[in-house]
Amino acid sequence: MATLRYKSVPVKSSEITPEHVYLSRREFMKAAGVAGVGALLAACGISPGQSEVLPTEPADLQVGATSDELGDALNTYEQITNYNNYYEFTTDKEGVARLSKDFKSSPWEVQVYGLVDKPMTFGLEDLLSKFTQQERIYRMRCVEAWSMVIPWTGFPLAELLKQVEPLSSAKYVRFESILDPEQMPGQKSGFYPWPYQEGLRLDEAMNDLTILATGLYGKPLPNPTGAPVRLVVPWKYGFKSLKAIVKIELVAEQPATLWSSIAPNEYGFYSNVNPEVPHPRWSQASERRIGEAGRRPTLMFNGYAGEVAHLYDGMDLAENY
């Protein structure tokens, strides 16, 4: 019997499930231990109450659980929205919040096409209404050896892929983020080959852990985290989880990705979290959980081996990094 290695909490609108208890922000802070939260904030250099929090934190954050399935506490909304990699805006992790503040994520369209029987274009409203949103509490591990625990809302990518009916010749999925240099100052630099592109093997894309996230803490996805819709692949380094998705293409060959085209010896196609395979310039054996002092060991497949190790049976993971 398969054990669930993530927490999945159905997201229920108040009219459907009045009995479901969502913790208010205050209750959540209480549950997490107020002193603990203060210490966590101090540890990462943010003093509670004084930080410039962008975007404005909604008053009624909704979360169905306060820790992941390993018992690790959720990162706070402030942490998740003020320490981001989003190179279309800036390479400064603490600068993304301010620079992305006015990003216009509506109207939005995601085109799904390529080797499929039924190409489709989804507006954000379609994504929200056609697919049942769930809360998924996932650990996210950046290749730069920091991590967070994030309560996403979203739905399995597999549900969307099934609607377009991939042809048997489709073996990979190629994803593309928005190209909009007028809104994204980082795209005015020619250093990176914009738009941001990523890819997954079709079976990775169809795995239940792989989601399209449309929200955070039960609220619409804030701009720094990839509004209005981003990919989340929690057993891979964070750069696979591309933000502000506009294209999903089913293809026959392994697609090029932004990072592997810039530095193929550092960033492979697979990018599975693996403490045993160091990055050429640093170890991947441990990580810094944002908000914690010290480091913790990195888990194989970021702790999701039970769900995904079988996808790589017979593969040399040092060779296929």
Ligand X SMILES: Nc1nc2c(c(=O)[nH]1)N[C@H]1C(S)=C(S)[C@@H](COP(=O)(O)O)O[C@H]1N2
103 binds, options Mo ion, ligand X, none, Cβ within 5 to 8 A by partner type: none
Binding mask 127-156 for Mo ion (x = CB under 5 A): ---------------xx-------------
Spatial separation of the C-alpha atoms in residues 174 and 250, rounded to whole Å: 6
Structure tokens at 112: 């799904």
Site mask for ligand X (CB under 6 A), range 196-225, x = bound = x----------------------------x
Residue 166 or 255 with smaller CB distance to ligand X: 255
Distance CA 45, CA 208 (A): 36
Hey, which residues does 220 pair with through a beta bridge? 215
- The verdict on 226 binding Mo ion (CB under 5 A) reads no
Give yes or no for residue 153 binding ligand X (CB under 6 A). Answer: no
164, interface contact from ligand X, Mo ion, none, CB < 5-8 Å by kind: none
Q: What is the largest CA-CA distance in the chain?
A: 55
SS3 of the chain: helix, strand, coil, percent, to 5:
25, 25, 50
Looking at the Cβ atoms of 62 and 177, the one nearer to ligand X is 177
From candidates 82, 84, 85, 197, binder to Mo ion by CB under 5 A: 85
Task: Give the x-and-dash track for 67-86 against ligand X (CB under 6 A).
Answer: -----------------xxx
Is 238 among the residues that bind Mo ion (CB under 5 A)? yes
- Please tell me whether residue 242 binds ligand X under the rule CB under 6 A: yes
Q: How far is CA 299 from CA 175, 265, 304, in A?
A: 26, 22, 8
User: Residue with the closest Cβ to ligand X?
Assistant: 238
Residue 77 DSSP one-character state = H
Residue 145 vs 158, nearer CB to ligand X: 145
Q: Do residues 271 and 143 make contact, with C-beta atoms less than 8 angstroms apart? A: yes
- Which region, left, alpha or beta, applies to residue 277 given φ > 0 means left and ψ of -120 to 50 means alpha? beta
Nearer to Mo ion (CB atom), residue 41 or residue 143: 143
Q: What is the per-residue binding string for Mo ion in 277-306, x denoting contact by CB under 5 A?
A: ------------------------------
Q: Which is nearer to ligand X, 153 or 177 (CB)?
A: 177
Q: CB of residue 119 vs Mo ion: minimum separation in angstroms?
A: 31
Of the candidate residues 41, 63, 74, 142, the single one contacting ligand X (CB under 6 A): 142
E strands along 24-160, which residues? 109-114, 120-123, 134-141, 146-156
Cα–Cα distances in angstroms (integers) from residue 224 to residues 35, 96, 219, 262, in the given order: 27, 6, 13, 23
Distance between CA atoms of residues 185 and 41, nearest Å: 29
- Does 212 bind Mo ion (CB under 5 A)? Our answer is no
| Complex with ligand X: residue 85 or 134, whichever CB lies closer | 85
Quote the CA–CA distance of 70 and 73 in Å, as a whole number.
Answer: 9
Q: How far apart are CA 307 and CA 303, in angstroms?
A: 9
The residue from 9, 37, 110, 140 that contacts ligand X (CB under 6 A) is 140
- Could you count the other beta carbons within 10 Å of the beta carbon of residue 140? 22
Residue type, 181: P
Q: Footprint of ligand X on this chain (CB under 6 A)?
A: 84-88, 140, 142, 177, 196, 225, 238-239, 241-244
Q: Footprint of Mo ion on this chain (CB under 5 A)?
A: 85, 142-143, 238-239
